[in-house]
Amino acid sequence: MKILNKKYCVTVLDNICFLLVGFLITGCSFGGKLITNLDKPIIDGPYVFEQVDSRLAIGVCEGRIKRFEFSYLPEQVIEYCGKSNTIGKKQPLIINQLVYQGDFNVAAVSDIHGQFRLFYKLLQNNNIIDIDGNWNFNTGHLVVTGDVFDRGVEVTEALWFLYKLENQAAKAGGKLHYLLGNHEVMVLNDDLRYVNDKYLIAAQALKIPYAQLFARGSVLGDWLRSRSVLIKVNGMLFAHGGFHPYLVEQKMSLNTINDIFKQNLVKSELNSSRKEWGDYLHTDNGPIWYRGYFKNEQATLTQIDNLLRHFEITHLVVGHTTQDQIETRYNGKVIAIDARMKAGIRGEILLWRNGEFSRGTIEGQQFLLKEANQANKSSRL
């Protein structure tokens, strides 16, 4: 991002620049016309870019463009627009481990779609985070099965929150697994069909295309590129969309699926177009798009049993195809966890304690899981 390596102190009277020596922070606040969405001043960011030995943060705060540079530290807290963001080491984390087994609790949420406040409340009322928003799940594993991006207006907040929570979970001996969904992959590939206007307006004001705010060399962009597309925790296999029975026929392993998927993540970063498995795993029957447990050419119970046997799992847990509540299919073997958080009204979290499943609501109530009404096979989108 050559454009970001310039110094940004400007001469226009309306703009303010500052320099704080000691911790070395230089910054500018740009005046002029307020940047708004639906007449409300936009708050978005920060988008943080790695430089040689410093970092550059940019964003829109209360309708004004902000840019500031600060010295690089392996772990640092930056204040931006009245909020703190914790930023970790420069190197992207490479996630190789795809299987976890142990004596800990598990929770899972899917399809947040920019509904950060709702997601926060859901975690808080189900004791995954405490009153201050910090990790409260001890050695538990929280799985977020993708689609944090698009539709809503609090995508960046949700991303930074997950970024922070991952760090806190690791320190507590727990784990946050944020998996890639189709909307993460769409944004990384500059497919902006579902991006809320707010983000396009902010990106335009910043003069950086939205997808480039998550380019390689950006803190969130590198972090997103390090995500896996699947994870197996205590015998439960999680992915955003699901696993097509063809993967069993072809004896594909979890490692191979994840590796090929990741090697083909961002088209513009490949030497040639996606081919064969690289293409298969990124299209309709791949793990981020598949809906065959719910609609289209539906998988049979025998095929589900074959998937469980092949991957040595007890359950398949998926988001992507929206339900009114978390519910099971195929005699409890498939669990559908996208509980319509995207509508911005409610949402649910899957809880697994001592081998027992339940679903937690926004209010913190918990219910046993129920099998979906098989008479109503069509998924409600």
Q: Which residues bind Zn ion (CB under 5 A)?
A: 147, 181-182, 320
Give the shortest CB-95-to-Zn ion separation in angstroms.
20
DSSP letter string, 48-84: EEE-SSEEEEEEEETTEEEEEEEE--SSEEEEETTEE
Work out how close the CB of 148 gets to Zn ion at its nearest, in angstroms, rounded to a whole number: 11
Least distance to Zn ion, CB of residue 300, Å: 23
- Find out whether 65 and 58 touch, Cβ atoms under 8 Å: yes
User: Measuring CA to CA, which residue among 140, 143, 135 is closest to residue 98?
Assistant: 143
Q: Is 50 or 147 the residue whose CB approaches Zn ion more closely?
A: 147
Closest separation in Å from C-beta 319 to Zn ion:
6
Tell me if 287 sits within 8 A of 239, measured CB to CB: yes
Q: Which is nearer to Zn ion, 198 or 320 (CB)?
A: 320
How far is it, in rounded angstroms, from Cα 139 to Cα 209?
39
Distance CA 137, CA 126 (A): 10
Residue among 64 and 177 whose Cβ is closer to Zn ion: 177
> Is the separation of the CB atoms in 210 and 47 below 8 Å?
no
**37 or 228, CB closer to Zn ion?**
228
Residue 180 Cβ vs Zn ion, minimum distance, rounded to whole Å: 10
Number of CB atoms found within 10 A of residue 23's CB: 9
* Of 4 and 288, CB closest to Zn ion: 288
**Closest CB to Zn ion: residue number:** 320
Phi, psi of 217 (to 5 degrees): 90, -5
